[in-house]
Amino acid sequence: MTPTILMAAPNGARKTRSDHPNLPVTVPQIIEEAVACQKVGAAMVHLHVRDQDQQHVLDSGLYTDVLSGIKEAIGRDLLVQITTEAVGRFNQQEQISCVKNVQPEAVSVALREMMPEGGEIKGSEFYHWAQDASVHVQHILYDAEDFKRFLLLIQKGSIPVNQPSLLFVLGRYASDNLGKIEELDLFLKIKQDPKTIDLGPWFVCAFGHSEAQCVSEAIKQGGHARVGFENNSHLSSGKEAISTAEIIEQTRDNALAMGKTIATAQEARELLGII
């Protein structure tokens, strides 16, 4: 049985401590929450770093500090994925430069940000560089059209086909646009089409209170889960969680109840093809 990868997303790019008093924003807070998530079942953590005003930044120095702190605390027992999210502030070159400066084990990249109209050549160069540098790229896909374009770019050779992993995003940041299982069905219809090439592991994240329901369905279908305060801060009971670690623990228990096993960081690396 393929173990289920649980990935924690404890802060994101938009929320601050005014949204939740336990949202980690400083380097020590981020390290502490990442370690707490690992202790209850997370094999991976998806991290954003913040400046002194709690604003999302693509700061290679802050990323390096967080990665070093996590490694010092728990060694390689947690696979750390940084983000290139633009939030309307950072351009393609700034995203690329951040990843090249940090050279993490893993990074998440939104297809529509790294491959904007007129920027496909530079984006393609980045994807091939990442493969050569052994930086695992997870491709963020926001809808079925993103997925179709991703497959076309692979077919063209613009994106390497070597063990890509995908993140299907259900819902959006807007409070009235919550994740829905029906959105997952649209992604899976494309993935399961006999004409679609065999792809690597896929994950789901879902905005809002439907997070637990959506990721449970993904796990049932053989996918993996990314959960946490970035997308949702409530438990399936409706109670507000005290931390992302509590949401990881809930997701772990739900997966175990389905008869699944939970991946360790090393098992996650093997599934993702990370050396």
Looking at residue 275, its pLDDT comes to 78
Q: Give the DSSP letter of residue 163.
A: S
Q: Give the DSSP letter of residue 149.
A: H
pLDDT at position 39 over 70: yes
**Mind listing the pLDDT tens digit for each residue in 70-107?**
999 999 999 999 999 999 999 999 999 999 999 999 99
Yes or no: domain 6-272 corresponds to CATH 3.20.20.70: yes
At residue 32, φ and ψ (nearest 5 deg) are -60, -45
What lies within 8 Å, CB to CB, of 161 at 6+ separation is 154, 197
Average pLDDT of the chain to the nearest whole number: 96
pLDDT, average across residues 129-149 = 96
pLDDT at position 264 over 80: yes
pLDDT at position 210 over 90: yes
Per the CB < 8 A criterion, the answer to whether 90 and 70 are in contact is: no
pLDDT at position 176 over 90: no
Q: Give the DSSP letter of residue 26.
A: S
For the chain, domain boundaries: 6-272
What lies within 8 Å, CB to CB, of 216 at 6+ separation is 251, 254, 258
pLDDT at position 173 over 80: no
Do β-strands 224-227 and 49-50 pair in parallel, antiparallel, or remain unpaired? unpaired
pLDDT, average across residues 28-39 = 98
Angle (CA) 116-199-108 rounded to 5° is 45
Segment among 62-66, 196-200, 236-240 with least mean pLDDT: 196-200
What lies within 8 Å, CB to CB, of 63 at 6+ separation is 47, 49, 82, 98, 102, 104
Looking at residue 172, its pLDDT comes to 85
Task: Please state, in angstroms and rounded to a whole number, the distance separating the CA atoms of residues 274 and 251.
Answer: 24
Looking at residue 66, its pLDDT comes to 98
Task: Please state, in angstroms and rounded to a whole number, the distance separating the CA atoms of residues 260 and 252.
Answer: 9
- The amino acid that residue 133 corresponds to is A
**Mind listing the pLDDT tens digit for each residue in 105-138?**
999 999 999 999 899 999 999 999 999 999 999 9
